[in-house]
Amino acid sequence: MPQLGESIAEAAIINFLAPPGTVVKADQDLIEVETNKATMTVTAPCAGRVGAYTVELNESYAVGAVLGQIEATVEEIERSGLILQVTGESVEADVEARPEAPAGAYRVQPTVRGLPVPANAAGASYLSPRLKARMSELGLHAADLAGIAGSGAAGRVTIEDFEKFIASLEKQKMSKASTMRVAVADAMRRSWTRPIATVGLPVQLDPLLAHRKASSPKPGPALYALRALAIALSENSAPAGRLVGKKVIHPSSIDVGFAVEAEDGVLVPVIRHADQKPLKELVSRYNELVELARERKLPADATGGSIATVTNYGTFGLIWATPIPLPEQTMVLGMGAGRRMPFWDETKNQFVPVLEAYLTLSFDHRVLDGGGAGRLLARIADLMRHPELL
Amino acid sequence: MSITYLEAIREAQAVALRDDPRVFIYGQDVGAFGGAFKATKNLAREFPGRVFDAPISEDAMVGMAVGAAVEGLRPIVEMQFADFSTAGFNQIVNQAATLFWRTQVPCSMTVRLPFGGTSGSGPFHSQSLEAIYAHYPGLIVLTPATVEDAYSMLLEAVAIDDPVIFCEHKFLYYHLKAEKLPSEALPVGKARIAREGRDLTIVAYSAMVHEALAAAAELVPEGWEIEVVDLRSVKPLDTDTIMASVARTGRLLCVGEAWPWGGVTAEVIARVATEGFGLLDVPPQRLNAKDTPVPYHPNLWAAHRPAARAITDAARKMLRL
């Protein structure tokens, strides 16, 4: 029963105009009906053969009621936009089409502008408000999500991915990370937001070892490197500048730190004005700071505020590494383990054994280019080959 | 026995007339004719002197009802179509809505708005006006989606001391049937979880609840479990139930048959974004009728309103984000 007028709820059947079996055209009158207001006709929604009427004369039927069937071809049904009802082998369309449009007949955009979601609110780097809220609740950083393969658009980590990840962790043994570990993790994470590069250079240590043997008290190998770095930076401190926005912040004094391994972490005591005191005057202060660091009793004036750090990873037998500078520093100078290496001696015209170690310089590539880093490292190596200058 | 949404509305009015002598019905052709949609069929005969035909003036109808309410009666005003209620808008929003706040005299009246689109009804017989009434303090706006709610909420509307805009959807009048009328119901202002789910919350009301449920069923074979919240009343709005649902699913899609601009869907999203931003795993979305007058042509009308297919399209995009 079609909608016959604005306020027509139902209509009574008063006459069948096309008996079952009649071949009818679309819009041909089929049934005469009577409403409160007038007598009207129900017309064929499509061309076809009248099958059967399923209503009775002089009875009232509500709008939307099925009145009967018309047998029509699939093409005709599709043409008229009606719903297919497959019954046995014949395909029939109800005389009264359902008020909803048929599936597939139209496609609407979900919003007025047709943009269902903001285009930037997707992708692996998108953290939803809910994800951020949960991470904050659990004290997690974006780096902690690295192990989750996101199932969202373009690899986005959805809240479901996150909760599954958290649930999976609970099945494993967990221990509380030390305050030191958390602090180191935080520093490394912040530092890693920059593009960090590393350059390396071998340096012969024989003159340095000879100098050390003759000295009293004996400076540690890292102190030679520290002093060489301080002198090199005093000649040109720009490479140790920090880039903040469009400005380079130059160091105000050559304060250099050095890495000391402590339980479950690393401490970085600082030697102030390392460019202004000769090596031999730094030895006792250096040794004192190493001890204080191991006891974790560094005074406030011996930590923080340094412009670069020296790390002697050679003490672990490592010959090469790419240390990460502290987040507030632009560079870290690394020193590998010394090894006996064959060296071609031009004067003797033969190989001679030398003690050689790699120096590495890891730096913020935004501030420093490979050439600048290479020149700085070459100057440091040069100074270390001439320890009497330190 | 089976009872339609329309019959439930008639039954509720019969019960209200029977149980409370202060109740009367006023509207165009509600008497002997039984109303434009037959929602008051036979009531004039069953309750002589309590069901009155009104002149063709919505302004006069509501104005008279406000006066009756001031005198302690509980009028039910029938608009033939919600669209025509704008001719009585001043009386509803300036008189009825403000009366208690101005005078401490309650304005207990119910205005029935047959609303929403049906095929071929066009721009003057299809509108959804719940948002403009919800905008005004002092009015309660109910939007039942089921036969049971149509019955119990209309009875509650008559019992409430505030003016109630009762939005009954014409599309549901004949299509929706129930086995029997309910003996108890959720209170007004409480939303209903029409379907439980896990992946996405669809907030809808009135006829759109059924489109949302159809969309939810369509998404089951794809492995998605959609939660459907039936608001039942758009004012008061049950923010707690919505928020609890979004907390479960992390995704919010609001569906309304009214126009998008400043509507109920916008209000729901505004509340969730304000109070529950941290619950959202994807940007909340809304789906409304197109921002144009309601078209006459059945095909255009079907494309104008948000039907199940448009809802599943929108839901899929959110689920895959």
Count A/B contacts: CB-CB distance under 8 Å. Answer: 119
Q: To 10 degrees, the CA torsion angle through B98, B99, B104, B106?
A: -110
Residue A112 pLDDT > 70, yes or no?
no
Query: How far does the CA of residue B263 sit from the closest CA of chain A (Å)?
Result: 14
Q: pTM value?
A: 0.68
In chain A, residues under CATH classification 2.40.50.100 are 10-94
Confidence at residue A60, expressed as pLDDT on a 0 to 100 scale: 84
* pLDDT of res. A84: 56
B320:A9 CB<8 A:
no
Q: Is the pLDDT of residue B127 over 90?
A: yes
**What pLDDT sits at residue A7?**
67
On the question of pLDDT at B251 being above 90, the answer is: yes
The CATH number of B192-319 is 3.40.50.920
pLDDT of residue A122: 54
Q: What share of chain B in percent tops pLDDT 70?
A: 100
Residues of chain A with CATH 3.30.559.10: 181-389
Provide the strand spans (E) within A103-223.
Answer: 196-204
Shortest distance, CA A101 to any CA of chain B (angstroms): 5
Which residues of chain A lie closer than 8 angstroms to B307, CB-CB? 100-101, 108
Backbone angles phi, psi at A159, to 5 degrees: -65, -30
Where does B3-178 sit in CATH, by number? 3.40.50.970
Confidence of residue A98 (pLDDT cuts 50, 70, 90): very low
Q: What angle, 0 to 180 degrees and rounded to 10, lies between the N-to-C axes of helices A370-385 and A221-235?
A: 130
Amino acid type, B73? L
Residue in chain A closest to B279 (alpha carbons) equals A130
Positive or negative: CA dihedral B256, B261, B264, B266: positive
- The total number of residues written for chain A in this structure: 390
Sequence-ordered alpha helix ranges (H) in B23-164 = 43-46, 58-70, 89-90, 99-103, 130-134, 147-159
Residue A74: the pLDDT is: 84
For residue B24, the SS3 value is strand
CA–CA dist B228, A223 (Å, integer):
69
Is there a common fold for B3-178 and B192-319? yes
For B174, which residue in chain A has the nearest alpha carbon?
A62
Q: Which residue of B has its CA nearest to A2?
A: B119
Average pLDDT, chain B: 96
- Which of A60, A80, A108, A115 to mutate to test binding with chain B, by most B CBs within 10 Å of its CB? A108
CATH 2.60.40.420 assigned to A10-94: no
Q: What crossing angle do the helices spanning A221-235 and A206-214 adopt, rounded to 10°?
A: 110
Q: Is the pLDDT of residue B126 over 50?
A: yes
Catalytic one of B125, B169, B210, B304? B125
Q: For residue B18, what is the DSSP state?
A: H
Closest CA to A362 of A234, A228, A188, A200: A200
- The residue type found at B50 is R
Domain boundaries of chain B, sorted by first residue? 3-178, 192-319
In the residue annotation, B135 being an active-site residue is answered as no
First-to-last alpha carbon distance for chain B, in angstroms, is: 46
Asked if residue A217 has a cis previous peptide bond (ω within 30° of 0), the answer is yes
Q: Chain A neighbours among B 168-197 (CB < 8 Å)?
A: 171, 173-175
**Chain A: residue nearest B312 by CA?**
A110
Would you state the CATH architecture of domain A181-389? 2-Layer Sandwich (3.30)
Q: Which of A360, A319, A322 is nearest to A341 (CA)?
A: A319
Mean pLDDT of A361-374: 95
Residue type, B227: E
Q: Is the pLDDT of residue B84 over 60?
A: yes
pLDDT in tens, B194-221: 999 999 999 999 999 999 999 999 999 9
Residues of A at the B interface (Cβ-Cβ below 8 Å)?
A: 2-3, 6-7, 9-10, 36, 62-65, 81, 97, 99-101, 103, 105-108, 110-112, 116-118, 121-122, 128-134, 152-153, 156, 158-160
Q: Would you place residue A264 in the very low, low, confident or very high pLDDT band (cuts 50, 70, 90)?
A: confident
Would you give the DSSP letter of residue B228?
E
Does B260 contact A112 at a Cβ distance shorter than 8 Å? yes
Q: What is the ipTM of this complex?
A: 0.74
Residue that has been written with the tokens 């009293």 in this structure: A216
B318 reaches A (C-beta below 8 A):
yes
Report yes or no: B310 at the A interface, CB cutoff 8 Å. Answer: yes
B125 touches chain A (CB under 8 A): yes
Q: What is the mean pLDDT of residues A6-14?
A: 79
Which of A46, A79, A96, A100 should one mutate to test binding to chain B, selecting the residue with the greatest count of B CBs within 10 A?
A: A100
pLDDT digits (tens, 9 = 90+) for A138-171: 989 888 888 888 888 878 899 999 999 999 999 9
Return d(Cα A115, Cα A122) in angstroms, integer. 13
pLDDT band per the 50, 70, 90 thresholds, residue A106 = very low
CA distance B203 to A131: 22
B250 contact residues in A (CB cutoff 8 A) = 128, 130, 158-160
A282: three-class secondary structure by DSSP: helix
pLDDT at position A149 is 86
Name the range with the highest mean pLDDT among A46-55, A72-81, A263-272, B227-236. Answer: B227-236
Pick A109 or A191 by higher pLDDT.
A191
